[in-house]
Amino acid sequence: MAKQKQKSSKSITYPPEVLKPVEEHLLQRLGGLLKRKKELTKADPFSDRTRLSDNGAIDADAAEQFGHMRANALRGMVDRTIIQTRKAMTRIKLGKYGVCERCGKFIDTDRLMILPETTLCIDCEKKKEK
């Protein structure tokens, strides 16, 4: 029974000519995300070494704290998207891209256009959110 399930999941894949533009898009997206991560690191007030010797006012310290928390939150979001993008690229190489990880059915192409890194079909995503 398990062998039949594996065979059926192997047989449903997107053709390479469809996946090539997706892979190129994901590569471009990954490059943009890595660039954004560097920008956020530079924009983090805590990355400025001169602030350690600066005897600024308390409100400046609060602004630095806020800026640091904001940069950390944004970097966290970018990191998660980088991981998801790399996972999607791996799924392309393995021939599993566009197939739901849970149910094994095709993920709707409209969903993949909006979220190319998604690994769940809309039905499984709804079940997950409940």
pLDDT band for position 1 (50/70/90)? Answer: very low
pLDDT band for position 6 (50/70/90)? Answer: very low
**18 Cβ partners below 8 Å, 6+ apart?**
none
Helix 16-43, helix 58-94: angle, nearest 10: 160
**CATH code of the domain containing 96:** 1.20.120.910
114 Cα distance to chain centroid = 12
**Lowest mean pLDDT: which of 4-8, 49-53, 78-82?**
4-8
For residue 21, what are the domain limits?
2-129
Number of domains in the chain: 1
Phi, psi for 113 (deg, rounded to 5): -65, -40
pTM of the model: 0.75
Report the distance separating Cα 119 and Cα 91, nearest Å. Answer: 9
Give pLDDT tens digits for 68-122: 899 999 999 999 999 999 999 999 999 899 999 999 999 998 999 899 999 999 9
Tell me if 60 sits within 8 A of 51, measured CB to CB.
no
